[in-house]
């Protein structure tokens, strides 16, 4: 994490304090440099204030950054020179906070001295926290909440927490921020918290960046839980969840990084780069050769400079982001973009398959067992029993009509349907629905396919566009698996998830596994056609999808994503949060946190199938633990 680099040549006068008070009263973001290399950040009035005073007697690297994820904090020099101004500032801020909420908690944080390094034979000492509070004043429940919450901040080291009931709830060597009389007069409560410097190397005293970010996130959550308890005990405020006390304001560092990552993400499309443009011609050549020759697939020209794009990617200054949750999202996004750009550069080489597994994974034993079970249970349809097929042109017209339904709720919806010669099927790209000229959809699958492509992929893209963070429409890291899981569930909820559709998803898993195990195109094709009963065209398309680019393992995410969504719903989690944008279950806790904090909100579009009472009944059943996979196994779809 970068140092704060705060200019210390800022003068703080009484009129400036009053200006800050005025900003706080209006509810605007108060973010200003303070003398001596300090900073104040209050994104809205809240019944608490965090304070850190930098000691003059010893280095204390990293500690001031522990508060950067809080919605209300002051970082200050501990120098005697700035004490009167700091006290005047805190006093006036408390006037506003207490007037609004009736009470305020002031938490001062400092670090314990660095511990001596241990020898290889010694077990590390437990992480030691110290809580300091007056015996009479701070509600006992607040101290208990803080004590309990701190246990989760050092998961790899059982912490030791000491509570000292004293009137000196202040950083060692410094006078209290408020005297006991001033606390009582302002109805403010002081709590001191000494934290173990586990984010520093005890030998060199250098900050360990990864540990600092991890500890900052855990400590921040513990503090908000304690503030939540205090607020319910003393303040005129009743938040429903402790994360409501988190930051809402997006700092400039977040905006700059978000824009930079979005520009990189919008500059390439992995699937378009990895998808052949001659699928129909290649299939005809394959058939003409008696299905005995590996087809030649042609691809779009590589329209990006991978080196230049990676340079732009790593110029995005995500290290300046203070919010731990947002930093985690942005760092994971950068890592995934890096791998995807490498995949495009390595298209057509053996490296592509290895890199695909890093991005999309490979089938594990549980997924393979399920795929084999489905293929054994769900027998292939007899030839010609698939029902009437809807042409690409007709289906595109039905898709336009589906979009028109959504425009009744949101007339500004800019999505369009495009008939394309370079797309071998159906695809959503940049919020538009691409329909291949040769694509056909079974009449019995039209509704489910529209809910899959438009009711999930397009809907979440445009809901995500309404959020303040671009990741909600470009896609969070790993979002494809969650997206496809939602889309398959949407097919079930709308009554269109068929046995043959489940066979197709299972076949894709088997095909991905065959590629990972080293099979060539012909071996995968024969495995699907001969061993599992897929028709010639279907086996060809599945084999093409998993061998494209050099080996794309993405098709395993459909069935794996379905398992994830079913598990998510069975645990009682929200379905609505999945519709906020292109989210990922791996980050769903962060999504929920951002929603509680008021950073994100529901978008303008809701899945049309949820207007159907039968769909709502099916969703309720999934939440109550109905085993969809058991229904499939019994052929009860």
pLDDT in tens, 256-309: 999 999 999 989 989 889 999 999 899 999 999 999 999 999 999 988 999 999
pLDDT for the residue numbered 205 = 86
What digits encode the pLDDT tens for the residues 356-399? 999 999 999 999 999 999 999 888 876 555 578 999 999 999 99
Average pLDDT over residues 467-477: 93
**Residues across the chain:** 637
Q: Is the pLDDT of residue 120 over 80?
A: no
Q: Could you tell me the pLDDT band of residue 159, with boundaries at 50, 70 and 90?
A: confident
What Cα–Cα distance (Å) separates residue 277 from each residue in 427, 466, 554?
13, 33, 18
Domain boundaries, the chain: 22-109+126-249, 269-303+346-633
Of the ranges 136-140, 201-205, 537-541, the best mean pLDDT one? 537-541
pLDDT for the residue numbered 8 = 39
pLDDT for the residue numbered 1 = 40
Q: What is the largest CA-CA distance in the chain?
A: 93
Q: Is the pLDDT of residue 225 over 50?
A: yes
pLDDT for the residue numbered 10 = 40
What Cα–Cα distance (Å) separates residue 244 from each residue in 248, 288, 358?
9, 64, 35
Q: Is the pLDDT of residue 429 over 90?
A: no
**CB within 8 A of 299, min separation 6: which ones?**
273, 274, 275, 276, 277, 347, 348, 549
Average pLDDT over residues 215-228: 95
Joined together, the tokens standing for residue 539 give: 């086996």
pTM of the model: 0.87
Average pLDDT over residues 489-499: 91
330-334, 457-461, 621-625: least confident range:
621-625
Q: Is the pLDDT of residue 155 over 90?
A: no
Distance CA 27, CA 29 (A): 7
DSSP 121: T
Strands 160-165 and 128-133: parallel
Q: Could you tell me the pLDDT band of residue 488, with boundaries at 50, 70 and 90?
A: very high
Q: Could you tell me the pLDDT band of residue 173, with boundaries at 50, 70 and 90?
A: confident
Average pLDDT over residues 589-600: 93
Cα of 392 vs its chain's centroid, Å: 35
pLDDT for the residue numbered 46 = 92
pLDDT for the residue numbered 627 = 77
Asked if residue 506 lies in contact with residue 371, where contact means CB atoms within 8 angstroms, the answer is: yes
What Cα–Cα distance (Å) separates residue 443 from each residue in 386, 390, 542, 577?
9, 6, 21, 31
E strand or H helix at 344? helix 324-345
Q: Is the pLDDT of residue 156 over 80?
A: no
Secondary structure string (H, E, C) spanning 555-583? HHHHHHHHHHHHHHHHCCCCCHHHHCCCC
353-362, 380-389, 534-543, 564-573: least confident range:
380-389
pLDDT for the residue numbered 9 = 39
Strands 188-195 and 128-133: antiparallel
Joined together, the tokens standing for residue 368 give: 């393979």
Which of 282, 272, 273 has its CA nearest to residue 438?
282
**CB within 8 A of 637, min separation 6: which ones?**
492, 497, 498, 499, 502, 631
Distance CA 236, CA 242 (A): 15
Average pLDDT over residues 467-479: 93
Average pLDDT over residues 69-86: 93
pLDDT for the residue numbered 6 = 40
Distance CA 23, CA 17 (A): 10
Cα of 626 vs its chain's centroid, Å: 28
Distance CA 485, CA 482 (A): 5
Distance CA 91, CA 188 (A): 10
Calculate what percentage of the chain has a pLDDT beyond 70. 94
pLDDT for the residue numbered 382 = 66
pLDDT for the residue numbered 4 = 44
Distance CA 186, CA 607 (A): 51
pLDDT for the residue numbered 342 = 97
Distance CA 449, CA 442 (A): 10
DSSP 240: S
Which of 396, 392, 423, 420 has its CA nearest to residue 272?
423
Return the CATH number of the domain spanning residue range 22-109+126-249.
3.40.630
165 φ, ψ (degrees, to nearest 5) = -85, 105
Mapped onto helix, strand or coil, the DSSP state of residue 73 is: strand
DSSP 607: -
156-165, 182-191, 597-606: least confident range:
156-165
Can you tell me which residue has the tokens 């029902």?
Answer: 387
Q: Bigger pLDDT: 202 or 49?
A: 49
């Amino acid at each position: 994490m970068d140092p704060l680099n705060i200019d210390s040549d800022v003068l703080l006068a009484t009129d400036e304090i009053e200006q800050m008070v005025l900003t706080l009263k209006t509810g605007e973001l108060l973010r200003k440099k303070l003398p001596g290399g300090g900073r104040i950040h209050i994104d809205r009035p809240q019944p608490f204030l965090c304070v850190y005073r930098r000691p003059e007697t010893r280095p204390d690297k990293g500690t001031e950054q522990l508060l950067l994820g809080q919605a209300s904090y002051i970082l200050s020099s501990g120098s005697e020179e700035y004490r009167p101004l700091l006290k005047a500032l805190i006093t006036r801020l408390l006037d506003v906070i207490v007037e609004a909420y009736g009470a305020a908690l002031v938490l001062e944080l400092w670090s314990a001295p660095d511990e001596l390094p241990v020898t290889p034979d010694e077990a590390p000492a437990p992480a030691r926290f110290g809580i300091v509070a007056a015996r009479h004043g701070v509600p006992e429940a607040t101290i208990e909440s803080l004590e309990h919450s701190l246990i989760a901040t050092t998961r790899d080291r059982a912490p030791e927490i000491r509570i000292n009931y004293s009137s000196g709830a202040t950083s060692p060597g410094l006078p209290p921020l408020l005297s006991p009389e001033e606390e009582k007069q302002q109805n403010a409560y002081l709590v001191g918290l000494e934290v173990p410097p586990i984010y520093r190397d005890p030998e060199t005293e250098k900050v360990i960046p990864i540990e600092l970010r991890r500890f900052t996130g855990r400590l921040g959550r513990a503090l908000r839980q304690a503030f939540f308890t205090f607020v319910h005990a003393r303040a005129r405020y009743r938040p429903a969840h402790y994360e409501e006390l988190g930051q809402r304001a997006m700092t400039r560092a977040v905006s700059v990084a978000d824009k930079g990552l979005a520009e990189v993400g919008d500059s390439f499309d992995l699937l378009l780069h990895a998808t052949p443009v001659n699928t129909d011609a290649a299939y005809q050549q394959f058939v003409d050769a008696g299905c005995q020759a590996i087809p030649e697939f042609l691809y779009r020209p590589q329209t990006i400079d991978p080196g230049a794009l990676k340079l732009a990617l790593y110029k995005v200054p995500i290290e300046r982001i203070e919010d731990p949750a947002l930093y985690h999202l942005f760092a994971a996004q950068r890592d995934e973009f890096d791998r995807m750009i490498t995949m495009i550069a390595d298209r057509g080489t053996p490296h592509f398959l290895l890199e695909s597994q890093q991005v999309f994974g490979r089938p594990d034993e549980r997924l393979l067992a399920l795929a084999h079970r489905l293929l054994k249970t769900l027998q292939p349809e007899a030839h010609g029993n698939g029902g009437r097929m809807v042409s690409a042109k007709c289906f595109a017209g039905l898709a336009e009509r589906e979009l028109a339904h959504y425009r009744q709720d949101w007339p500004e919806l800019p999505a369009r349907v495009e008939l394309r010669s370079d797309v071998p099927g159906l695809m959503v790209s940049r919020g538009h629905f691409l329909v291949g000229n040769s694509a056909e959809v079974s009449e019995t699958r039209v509704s489910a396919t529209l809910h899959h492509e438009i009711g999930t992929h397009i809907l979440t893209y445009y809901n995500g566009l309404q959020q303040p963070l671009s990741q909600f429409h470009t896609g969070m890291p790993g979002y494809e698996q969650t997206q496809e899981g939602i889309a398959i569930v949407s097919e079930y909820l709308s009554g269109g998830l068929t046995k043959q559709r489940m066979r197709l998803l299972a076949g894709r898993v088997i095909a991905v596994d065959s590629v990972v195990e080293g099979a060539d195109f012909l071996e995968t094709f024969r495995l699907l056609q001969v061993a599992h009963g897929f028709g010639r065209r279907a086996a060809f398309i599945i084999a093409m999808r998993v061998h494209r680019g050099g080996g794309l393992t993405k098709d395993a995410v459909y069935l794996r994503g379905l398992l994830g969504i079913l598990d998510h719903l069975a645990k009682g989690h929200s379905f609505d949060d999945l519709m906020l944008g292109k989210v990922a279950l791996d980050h769903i806790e962060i999504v929920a946190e951002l929603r509680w904090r008021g950073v994100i909100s529901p978008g303008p579009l809701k899945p049309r199938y949820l207007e159907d009472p039968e769909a709502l009944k099916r969703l309720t059943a999934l939440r109550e633990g109905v085993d969809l996979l058991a229904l499939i196994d019994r052929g009860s779809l």
